[in-house]
Amino acid sequence: MKLRLICVGKLAEAWQRQAADEYAGRLQRYFPLEIVELKEEKGGRKGDVSGLLKREGDRILEKVPPQSFLLVLDERGRQFGSEQLAEKLGDEMLHGGRDWCLVIGGPYGLDPRLRQRADQLLSLSKMTFTHQMARIFLLEQLYRSSTILRNEPYHNR
């Protein structure tokens, strides 16, 4: 089972890249992981956010593999505990057999079509994070889930 993470926007700061690389590297010991980083569309400050989100949405949807299980990151989505997320990942490995595609929006969020297409809307918290922080937290949680599935000591439950 493979993971593809589609992100809008770059990790601008060195510390963000370092943290994301650290958890991506750890996660890759358990799952093949591909991170697809798409450029942010410009022009949100001029007020045309829906057009911007539509253009970003078109480019994101092109990168979503048709048969994958699509998790869209959105603070209005469902919150999972780490052990619940591990269970969901484990279920998919045992019974679903689909690759997972995860999407993180850019500074203005996501085109509504992504929420409609999602198999699961996943919230990391009710608070809103920057897309960079959401990427780091998500990678850490996927790594944590992987260690839970293998009964490894990282989670310390």
Ligand X SMILES: C[S@@+](CC[C@H](N)C(=O)[O-])C[C@H]1O[C@@H](n2cnc3c(N)ncnc32)[C@H](O)[C@@H]1O
Which positions lie near ligand X, rule CB under 6 A?
73-75, 104-105, 107-110, 123-125, 127-131, 134
Least Å from the CB of residue 9 to ligand X: 8
Least Å from the CB of residue 95 to ligand X: 25
**Which residues face 37 on adjacent strands?**
7
Contact of 92 with 100, CB cutoff 8 Å? yes
Instruction: Give phi and psi for 15, each to the nearest 5.
Output: -65, -30
Our CB check for ligand X shows the closer of 21 and 75 to be 75
The Cα 56–Cα 2 span in angstroms is: 24
Our CB check for ligand X shows the closer of 57 and 105 to be 105
Least Å from the CB of residue 67 to ligand X: 22
What is the maximum span of the chain, computed from C-alpha positions, in angstroms?
Answer: 50
The Cα 73–Cα 148 span in angstroms is: 21
- Does the annotation place 127 within a ligand binding site? yes
Q: Known binding site for S-adenosyl-L-methionine: residues?
A: 73, 105, 124-129
Q: Known binding site: residues?
A: 73, 105, 124-129
